[in-house]
Structure formats: structure tokens, C-alpha cells
Chain A
Amino acid sequence: MLPELGHFALILALLLAVVQAVFPLLGSFYQKPAWVALGQPAACAQAFFLVCSLLCLTAAFILNDFSVAYVAENSNSRLPLHFRISAVWGAHEGSMLLWMTMLSLWGMSAALASRHLPENISARLISVLGWVSVGFLLFILLTSNPFERLLPYVPLDGADLNPLLQDIGLIIHPPLLYLGYVGLVVPFAFAMAVLMSGNLASAWARWLRPWAVTAWVFLTLGILLGSWWAYRELGWGGWWFWDPVENASLLPWLVATALIHSLAVTDKRGMFKAWTIFLAIFAFSLSLLGTFLVRSGVLTSVHAFANDPARGVFILILLGISVGSAMLLYAWRAQSLREEVKLHLWSRETMLLANNVLLVVMTLSILLGTLYPLILDAFNLGLISVGPPYFNAMFVPLAAPLLFLMALGPHQRWSKTQPSEWLGRLRYTFAISVTLGVVLPFVVTGSLQGHVVLGLALACWVLIATLQDLLGKGMRRGKGFTGVWQLPRSQQGMVIAHVGVAVCAIGIALSSQYSQERDVRMVPGDAYTLGAYTFLFEEVVSGEGPNYTTTTGLFEVSKTKRGGEQVIGTLAPQKRLFYVRNQIMTRAAILANGWRDLYIALGEPLDERAHAWAVRIVYKPFVRWIWLGGLLIALGGFVALFDRRYRQKVAQAFQGAIDLGRLKPANAE
């Protein structure tokens, strides 16, 4: 009964989405306030029914209803409850339903908040959100219905959730990532609405800023957790593989990062309007492309799961329609957003423009590397793969100037700055950063590597210059920390996020250059020494989990300190054999502190009689800094959301803007 209700709720949501898509749009063109007014309640009701639908599917998982095909394929009665719940988004159908539910929740919130916007912008925004919903609801109902029943032959038990997904990382990673992915629909719908109206007032850009930042924060957290999960679950010590599925999440993130920066210019200076609109469209297009790449199975990826190509075609059509229509509209209407550009070389606008150009070029280079194999294959020019060397070769030369300018940007004023204003203070910062970048690695390791010096010097440069800017501006407001506290939240958020980037850069530079990795054959009783650490393989024990059996290796780790050996902990890497799928999973054991991770994974048993095992031992310095930096970046975005300017009295901020956007035929001006 419940699955049928869920299916029915999905159909109702589709009908409501059609109402939401059609009536406000027509109403905005034909001056019918009553039609426009249908938009908001339809968006809310759509979200309500989708949440119901998702709850029905969750209930089917909790109640072990194996008559539902999707449950039978991805769950098992022995699966612990928390994994039964996360199994809802463990495969295609359920993740699309979750994706869609989040889309509708974003749609509902944006529809409710859009009453702060002029009526015709708001109506068209709601309508575009409706169209996107219609497309994806059709996709779910026609190609990936999660409520399909297996009748009359109901399986006795389910085929279990893919063991790789039975991890805490997979409970929270997809929802966060999807929240970010689909959150970009709000800037997209906004851009379309603005293009239809042919007008963009700065105050409307301010309305969009918190939305773009929120989506970006979720995307940041989602990518971060994905990287952490891959590190623990399949990374064998790696945290980023330049894998197509990972790139699919990085691409919209890069463009969203460009978008939040360019929105700042549009908000404060009323410039870059057409460009901002373009980025809003581009970001959502990339998140649709990401969905296509992940869901269609056209790419070979370490994260690829069994997929159905027919679904790929459907998403490709959706992608074509939405991106195509958006780009057509852009080509047709962007002219009306033209503004007189007066850029001074030394101004914050120029810095943000440089940021945008670098981020977009970075995006394009990663996009090219990701799609190139697909393009060649489509034209039968051979099967190829593009590996990490390409992406590293493109990424590093673009990231370096980006970091360099990131420190300079906040020191520039809007409109025009005299270089003498900041040259004095930043001269020393630059000298100190370069010195630190060279001296620190040399003192600690006794040798110098180009990438480390570059990464460290740039990170110090960003760190010091950013804090200098914060303290300088804080001082002007008040004494010590009160001054810093009184700065606008968006400014504080920017500082936290930029510091996060520096921390992340340190983590990437040091962990990728100084990591040590050994695959060794070990028998219980063997010890292996890696640097200052000795790993003693004590024994192998067997055990049992709820739906698997375990083989656990016990390793005693000790560190050489001033001549003496000191035990610092025990590591217990595991092999798990899952009953239902008869699949083996490796669980690495990690001993972490702020400075380094010690990582052990059991490979395979090499010799049953001698109990010999293949063991991977990894020493990874500063790897936690990568995720710590990522968390700071997300935290920065979160803090910026509390900026008072986003909460100003609506009437005050939009006085002029509302007059511009009163209901009237689109081309009245």
C-alpha cells in the first residue's frame, strides 16, 4: 500500500509542477495576478508530495518490503537500520528521488522568498523552477520509478546494499552533494527570469547572493565528504583521483565559486550583469551534466555503478533542452543587460574579474579532460582515458595565480585603488611568505622541492595578507577583537574561506609531496619500519558483524623518539566478507593526528599456510589539512549568510527595483 501511495504522490507532484510551470509564466505575460498567485502554493504542495513520496520509500526500506524491486535490490533484512535508511539513496532510482525532493524543497523556499522580488521576476522564477521539476519528475516516472513491485514472485530477502556504501560517509555525502547540485537551480531560474524581463537591478543580485552561497556551501561539504569517504573506503590512501565522477562535482563547484564572486560585483557595483547571469546558467548546466555523467554510465570511473544507458539518453535530452533554451534566451536577451564598463587595473572589480577568468579556464580545462574520451569514442576515434597527469598539469599553473591574486584582492578598494596604499604593507608579507616557503621545508626535511616551496609560499602569502586585511579593517572599526567582530559577516566569512583555501593548499602540497607508501608482504611477527614509525604485525583474528564476517589484522605502531621506542597505538585494518553479495571489502585503519595520518590496509592473503598478507602501509603528512581547509571554506560561506545586508527591510532595499519590475508586458520599456 505504502509504495503505491508513494508512486501516487509522485504523479501528483508532477501535475502540480505542470501547474507551477505554466500558470505563473502565462500570468506574467498576460497580466493575470490570479494565475501568478498559483505558483507559490503549487511549489509548496509539490515539495510536500515529494517528501511524502520519499518517506514512503524510506518506510519500505525500514519495513523490509522486498516486494518493491528497488528495496529488494539494495537492502537485506540483516542490514542495520541506519544503513537501511541510507540505502534509500544507495542506487539510481532512490538517489534520483532524493535529488528531486531536494530540488522541490529548494523550489519551495525560493518561491516563498521570491515575494521579496518584483512580481514578474518572481512569477518567471517560480515557473522556471516548475519546468525543471517537470523534466526530472517525468524522468523518474518514465525511466526510474523506485516503487516498481516484484509481483507475484516476492523475494524472501534482499540482495543487500553494495558493501562499499555501508559506511557513515555514504549516509551523509550524497544528500549534501545533491543539496549543493540542485541548489544551483535557484540561480539558474533567477537568471532565466531576469533574461525574460530584460532587466537586472543590483538589489535583485543581492537577493540571489545568499541562495548561491548556500548551494555552494552544500556543494563544498558534499565534495569534502566524498573525498574523505574515498580516502577511507576505496582510496588506498588517495583522496582525489581526477576521476570523471569527482570532476562532475568539482566543475559546478568551480563555476559556483566564480558566481558568488561575480555576484558580489553585480550587487555592490552593478557591473558584470550579463556575465553573472551566464555563470548562473553555466553552473546549473554543469550540475545537470554531472548528473548525466554519473547516472548514464557512459564513463569508466572508479565510482561508476551499474547503470542503464537508456536513462542517459533521457537526461541528455533534458540537458539539451534546458541548456539549449537557456543559452538561446541568453543570446537573445543578454544585450539588454549591457552596462558601461569602466575598469581600473587596481580595483577590486578587476581582481574579481581575474578570479572569474581563472576559475572558468580551470573549469574548461577539466571539462575538456573529462569529456575528451567521450567525444573521441562518439566519433569512433579510439578508446582513451585521460589520467591525473593531465589534470595536474592544467590545475597547478592556474591555481598558483589564483592564490596569488586571492591575497591581493581584498586589499583593493572598489572602483580604484592607489597601489601605494597596499604596496607598503604587502611588500613585507611577500618577503616573509617566500622566506617561510623556502626555509620551513629545508629546515624540516633538509631538501627543497619546487611544488612544496610554491604551495607553502602561496599559502603563507594568502594567510598573512588575508589576516592583515582583516585586522586592518577591524582596527578602523574598534579596538582589537571588537573591531573584527563588528565587521560585516560577509567580510568575516570571506576571510575564513580564504584562510581555508590556504590551509587546504598546505595540505595538498605537503601530503602529495611527502607521502610515503609501501606495499609489503607480512607474516604475523614481522615488523616494518617506515621513517620514524615501526609497524609490528601481531596477529590475525576473525570475527563477525551484522551481515558480514571479518578478518582483522592487529598492528602495533611505535615511534622512535630520541633513541627510545614508544608505542603510540594499535591499528586494526579489516577485511569484511559480506554474506549476501559474497563480496570482500577492505576497511583501512587510520591513526591520525593534526600532522600526519598513518594508514594501514590489508591487501589479500598471499599464503594461507604461512598466514602471509599483502599489506599497504602509508604515511601521509598534513592530509587532514585538506579537509580542515575545506571545512573552513564551507564555514566561511555559512558565516557570510548572516550578513545584515541580506536581511535589510525589503521595502528599503527594493524600493526602486520594485517599480522597475511591476507586472507589465515584458518589452514595455
Chain B
Amino acid sequence: MHKFLNPARKKRLYIVLFIIAGVSIALAIMMTALRQHINFFYSPSQVAAGEVSAGQRFRIGGLVVDESVMRVEDSLQVRFALTDGAQEVWVTYAGILPDLFREGQGIVAQGALDEAGVFQADEVLAKHDENYMPPEVAQALAEAGHPTQLSTPDAT
């Protein structure tokens, strides 16, 4: 044992241990930070099934229901419903909607449910390209049994 740990090997062992310790600490910090800052994605069906509790931050995605977009007079408040073909969830948002936001379009919103079960969004995302469907939304639609033409992008 004594021979095994000659000075050169000892030094190398320390270096290796040091690297392992450093990497594990860095990884631990990263994973903690990650755990605190991730947002899960839920489909309207999952929300309707009560999988999310009020106040928990998450992302929801679906198609904006036709003729559901309503504005509140004299403010930037807007209300609309999101669907995955099976269930609908109401969303409220105060702010400017993206240019590609329109009825029938697939969008993703970030925020949390309030006590009444309405999704309070603080961010609404629509994409660059009108043919583009956010992958989560396409998957949610497919799982609800309503795969769309749009779920195969590059449909031009």
C-alpha cells in the first residue's frame, strides 16, 4: 500500500479527486438550479383532469378556440380559450399578443392557474412561421386524438 502511493501517484490521485469533487459540486449546483427553474408543459386535457394545482407555474399549449378571443374595454386585458380538441381551458392575459396570435393558431402560454381554474398567463408565445406548430402542441393534439395537418411541419 505504501509503495502504491509514491509521491507522483499521490499527487495524481489528489488531482483526480480534486477534479471529481469540482465536477460533482458544479453538477449539483446546476441540477438544483435546474430543478428550481423548469416549467412543465401540460395540455388542456391534463389541466381539466386536475393534474395541476392552482398557483403552480407551468406552460400550456393548444389551439386558440374560434371566436373565443374577448377584450376587456379600456384595458389590455384579453381572454381566450385554448383547446387540444378534447378539453378547453380559459386563459387571461394582460399585454400585447404576438403578431402570429390568431384564432385557430397553435400557441404556448406560460403562467399559473388561479382559484377559479382560469389560466393567468404572463407570456404568450406564437411562432415565427404560420406553418409551424410548437412540438408540444402537436403532441398534445395527437394524444387527444386530434392530430392535425399542421402537426407535420414543412407542410408548404
Tell me the A residues contacting B by CB distance below 8 Å: 73, 159, 162, 164, 234, 236, 297-300, 302-308, 361, 364-365, 368-369, 372-373, 382-387, 389-390, 393-394, 519-521, 581, 583-586, 601, 603-604, 606-607, 614, 616
Contact = CB atoms under 8 A, between A and B. Distances in A.
B90 interface: no
A162 B41 contact: no
B76 A614 contact: yes
A31 to B, nearest CB: 39
B75 A304 contact: no
A669 to B, nearest CB: 24
A153 B153 CA distance: 23
Interface string B116-135: 00000000010111111011
A583 B26 CA distance: 46
A306 B156 contact: yes
Contacts of A604: 96-97
B134 to A, nearest CB: 5
A521 B75 contact: yes
Nearest to A384: B38
Nearest to B136: A383
| B: interface residue count bin | 35 or more
Output the residue of B73, B108, B154, B155 with the most chain A CB within 10 A. B154
Nearest to A233: B128
A304 B127 contact: yes
B53 to A, nearest CB: 16
A300 B132 CA distance: 10
Contacts of B73: 607
Interface in B71-119: 71, 73-76, 94-97, 99-100, 108, 110
A57 B62 CA distance: 38
A298 B135 contact: yes
B128 A305 contact: yes
Given A368-B30, A394-B30, A384 B40 contact: yes
Nearest to A372: B34
A383 B36 CA distance: 15
Nearest to B40: A384
Contact of B59 (A304, A385, A586, A601): A385
B39 interface: yes
A614 B74 CA distance: 10
Nearest to A162: B129
B1 interface: no
B129 A382 contact: no
Interface in B1-53: 26, 29-30, 33-34, 36-41
Contacts of A386: 34, 37-39
A68 B41 CA distance: 40
Contact of B37 (A308, A393, A585, A603): A393
B109 to A, nearest CB: 12
Contacts of B34: 368-369, 372, 386, 390
A185 B37 CA distance: 35
18 contacts: A162-B129, A297-B153, A302-B127, A306-B131, A308-B154, A364-B30, A365-B33, A373-B38, A383-B59, A385-B38, A385-B59, A387-B38, A521-B76, A585-B99, A586-B99, A606-B71, A607-B71, A616-B96
Contacts of A297: 135, 153
A419 B108 CA distance: 55
Given A304-B128, A308-B154, A382 B99 contact: no
Contact of A372 (B38, B59, B76, B154): B38
Contact of B128 (A162, A308, A385, A603): A162
Given A308-B153, A308-B154, A368-B30, A383 B129 contact: no
B26 A364 contact: yes
A342 B90 CA distance: 65
A515 to B, nearest CB: 16
B128 A303 contact: yes
Given A300-B108, A519-B95, A387 B37 contact: yes
Nearest to A368: B30
Output the residue of A383, A520, A614 with the most chain B CB within 10 A. A383
A235 B144 CA distance: 33
A111 to B, nearest CB: 36
A361 B19 CA distance: 12
B154 A164 contact: no
A308 B99 CA distance: 24
Given A583-B130, A585-B99, A385 B39 contact: yes
Contacts of A586: 99
B40 A583 contact: no
B132 A390 contact: no
A298 B134 CA distance: 10
The 6 closest A-B pairs by CB, nearest first: A603-B96, A383-B41, A390-B37, A306-B153, A389-B37, A384-B38
A234 B39 CA distance: 23
Given A368-B30, A390-B34, A519-B96, A307 B39 contact: no
A361 B26 contact: yes
Given A303-B128, A384-B39, A385-B39, 4 more contacts: A162-B129, A300-B136, A304-B132, A365-B26
Contact of A73 (B39, B125, B156): B156
A422 to B, nearest CB: 27
Contacts of B139: 383
A73 B130 CA distance: 13
